[in-house]
Structure 1
Amino acid sequence: MPILTLKLSAHAQLTDAQALARALTALSTQVLHKRSDVTSVIFERISANDWWVGGEVSAQVLMQLDIRITHGTNSTTEKAAFVAAAFALLPLHLAQGQRLHATSYISVQELAATDWGYGGYTQQQRREMAQTL
């Protein structure tokens, strides 16, 4: 049940936002083995006046992609592969002529199974319920 949050500098022009959301969902399924039916993708726009790199506003597109997953469900190799593939994927969805700034970050955030969930149950509770069925 990953949640992907993509922060974009406000001047970023996506060729097709839904296609990017689908591609990010597919990437989490293919690389991290997550279920697509419970994967959420959120886009947030950040004003150029609110995002600096080295104390300066960039003309290039800035992005920050965070994915939250349950702790211990993926290997170090899988997480590294996700970061590399996501960084390669993002520029493919920018309008022609736009460039992704190298200081665009991708993070894989692991949360304890007791610290998050969906449907009113933590991941730990969901595991325990599945074992009793």
Structure 2
Amino acid sequence: MPFVRLTITGPETGPETVAALQRGITALMAEVLGKRADLTAVLVEPAPAAGWSVGGVAVTRAAHIEARVTHGTNTAQEKALFVAAAHELLVRTLPGPLPLATYVVVQEVPADAWGYGGLTQAARTVDTAARS
């Protein structure tokens, strides 16, 4: 049940590009990190062009991905592959060069600190074990 936030600044990003990024990120979450695509939420948020800088210098195009997953559900290698693949997706999909400081972050959240449908991930694990 990952949640991914993609923040973008620069020239207007049209609905086709947003949809391509959402599909691409969802696919990477499933294929690289083994997450259920049907439970992967992706939010694409624009940031004001004047509000983003790198090294104190304003940039014309920038992006940042934060993907939240349950702690301990992915290996270091899987996370590294996701960071590389997500960066490549941004480079392929967004027009113009991206700054070197284009970050992709995989945040691990404790299973008892988040969930969906009114249940934490920890409660889902207990519920699944009880049904087995």
- Shorter-chain TM-score tier: over 0.9
Q: 1:16 to 1:48 in 2, by over 3 A?
A: closer
Name the counterpart of 1:66: 66
1:12 Cα deviation from its structure 2 partner: 5.2
Alignment partner of 2:110 out of 104, 109, 112: 112
Amino acid at match of 1:63: A
Q: TM-score, normalised by structure 2?
A: 0.93
Larger relative helix fraction: 2
Supply the distance in 2 between the matched residues of 1:12 and 1:71 (Cα, whole angstroms).
35
Name the counterpart of 1:42: 43
1:88-113 alpha-carbon deviations (Å, 9 max, x no partner): 11121123xx1122111100000000
Question: Are the counterparts in 1 of residues 69 and 106 from structure 2 also a CA contact under 8 Å?
Answer: yes
Name the counterpart of 2:18: 17
SS at match of 2:105: strand
Which consecutive unaligned segments of at least 5 residues does structure 1 have? Answer: none
Q: Percent identity?
A: 41
Question: Are the counterparts in 2 of residues 12 and 94 from structure 1 also a CA contact under 8 Å?
Answer: no
**Map 1:46-125 → 2, pairs under 5 A:** 46-59=47-60, 61-95=61-95, 98-125=96-123
Query: What is the RMSD computed on CA atoms of the aligned residues?
Result: 1.3
Which consecutive unaligned segments of at least 5 residues does structure 2 have? Answer: none
